[in-house]
Homo-oligomer: A and B are copies of this chain.
Amino acid sequence: MRVLGIDPGLTRCGVGVVDVTPDRRATLVFVDVIRTGAGEALEKRLLTIGNQIASMLDEWHPDAVAIERVFAQQNLRTVMGVAQASGVALHASAARGLDVGFHTPTEVKAALTGYGGAEKKQLATMVAKVLRLAEAPKPADASDALALAICHAWKRGASVATDRGTLTPAQQAWHAAERSAARSGAHRRLAP
């Protein structure tokens, strides 16, 4: 399953594509941050964001789009721009008939780290581990977009394959990351 994750924003809009197999193994396909200048006209900033997201949808052909669910209660200074950017992203996704999932930051943190109150840095560390990267993509908007995509794929997969007694997605991610570290990074660190 291929998912495009979007962390919407006017100044920085994180976008990340991951492929996730039924056994929850996730692979990085593409990650970027769409940037627009605060001095530009609002409608031109939204045009840039919408057009770039449309290009990515047409280039990477995701099966689904995962986007942060925004609340008016969040940072009032930026929330209107976030909502407007999410509007154009949702329009581009719906125009292509794509499945769209909305996830709160708490849901994303819980899915990846097992704890909804995890710190930003813990989430970024888990994104890197799950995707078997040496470090988390920067800035945080890029890493957050990938976290949204992984969260969405795991939740959708979990709704099909959940079974009593199996590990939670977060637990499986930790175990997979530990196995991965044992196989690669740890070996490299121990090599002469």
Binding site for B on A (CB under 8 A): 41-44, 46-47, 50-51, 70-73, 76-77, 79-80, 83-88, 90-91, 93-95, 100, 102
Contact = CB atoms under 8 A, between A and B. Distances in A.
A93 B102 CA distance: 26
Nearest to A83: B83
A80 B70 contact: yes
Contacts of A86: 84, 87
B100 A43 contact: yes
Given A72-B72, A84-B86, A86-B84, A47 B79 contact: no
Given A41-B100, A85-B87, A88-B87, A46 B80 contact: no
A77 to B, nearest CB: 8
Contact of A93 (B43, B83, B84): B43
A4 B38 CA distance: 26
Among the interface residues A42, A43, A46, A86, which one has the most CB atoms of the partner chain B within 10 A?
A43
Contacts of A70: 80
A174 B155 CA distance: 60
A43 B91 contact: yes
A13 to B, nearest CB: 12
A139 B99 CA distance: 33
Given A80-B71, A80-B83, A88-B87, A95 B47 contact: yes
A160 to B, nearest CB: 20
Given A80-B83, A83-B84, A91 B47 contact: yes
Contacts of A77: 72
B79 A46 contact: no
Contacts of A100: 41-43
Contacts of A80: 70-72, 79, 83
Nearest to A86: B84
Contact of A88 (B42, B72, B79, B91): B91
